[in-house]
Amino acid sequence: MRQRTLVFRPSTSEYQASDFNEKERASMTKLGLDYSQNFQEAKSADQVILITTSQIKTDELKGYLKELEIKLIIHPNSGYDNFTKELVESFDSHIVIGNQIRAAAVFQYTTSCLLDALGKIPFENGWDDKRLYSRNLKKKVTVYGRGHIGKKLEKFLIASDMNFNFIDPYQEDKNSVGNHKIEETDIFILLCSLNEKSYHILGKNFFSNIKESSVIINPARGKLIDETVLIEFLNKNKKSFAYLDVFENEPKDLSALSKELKNNNALLSSHVAGVYDDIDDAIIEFETKVISDYLSGDIEGFKKVHEYAILSNRLKDGILI
């Protein structure tokens, strides 16, 4: 008898359209799979493909693994800090993450902030005889993280003749054209994942050593920065600036945070760096590709095609990088 495979989708992200689940269901139906958002229905299936979001916490994931016959987990999000090292090591199949879905969008968000930091375009309603454009092309940039997004940014930095270096213990930085220390850096960009080693990587020691005019760009994870210390730094140094898309605790009251910043030296957005018009379709296309490859039965081929998306491959030195 043919096994009944069900795709279980317990929750969706708040930015997804109202018809997202129906589109996702239609895509899974074309693959000959059942689809449900109901836990009890998932329990009745012979095998389950679980699709998760970052809102599903570790304990909930453990509960699903205990109660369901899960053969594959797809996490079509960039952040995977709700998956512990122990959970990844104990799961005897594959967890596939969707960094590639948002990489281009986060890269574009990051470069927009970077270019804004270098100097705002002096748009005018009339001709300016002085023809001044105040921008500094010699700023030193330090980037934390050289993964999917970091490598895209690296190409941009090279093409822009910028003085930059990467800090990433797990990736070569052979293309860095500088090796400046943090006290020499003008702009810091966070593109790394959150784990026990990167938590508060920008903390009290960091902020006590950087320039008073430093710029911070963070479209990655809020807990990479000690937010309290960052606010103190921004309030103390009028020439400093921060572009923040993520925060230690979300959802964040951005109006309250704006009032805390006495120098009006930050631009805030609501965790949207990876969001774009066609993201729903991109997510479903990604899920369909992963599931089709997995169900083909060619597991070695599946592992090769999705090598950089399989979460167990990110286990390095006892942590998830």
pLDDT tens figures, 245-275: 999 999 999 999 999 999 999 999 999 999 9
Same fold, 5-100+277-320 and 102-268: yes
Residue 175 confidence class, pLDDT cut points 50, 70, 90: low
Neighbour tally for 119: CB within 10 Å: 13
What is the fold of 5-100+277-320? Rossmann fold (3.40.50)
Name the helix (H) or strand (E) containing 51.
Answer: strand 47-51
For the packed helices 99-118 and 148-159, what is the interaxial angle rounded to 10 degrees? 40
Class of domain 102-268: alpha beta
Closest CA to 94 of 316, 314, 274: 314
pLDDT tens figures, 31-66: 999 999 999 999 999 999 999 999 899 999 999 999
- 219, 273 Cβ separation under 8 angstroms: yes
DSSP 152-219: HHHHHHHHTT-EEEEE-TTS--TT-S----GGG-SEEEE-PPP-TTTTTSBSHHHHTTS-TT-EEEE-
What residue spans of the chain are helical by DSSP H? 20-30, 39-43, 58-67, 85-90, 99-118, 148-159, 204-207, 227-236, 254-260, 279-295, 299-305
The whole model's pTM is what?
0.93
C-alpha 15/C-alpha 17 separation (Å) is 7
Neighbour tally for 82: CB within 10 Å: 18
Domain ranges of the chain: 5-100+277-320, 102-268
Average pLDDT, the chain: 94
pLDDT tens figures, 190-247: 999 999 999 999 999 999 999 999 999 999 999 999 999 999 999 999 999 999 999 9
How distant, in Å, are the alpha carbons of 197, 211, 228 from that of 112? 28, 22, 26
Q: What is the mean pLDDT of residues 160-180?
A: 78
Single-letter amino acid, residue 241: F
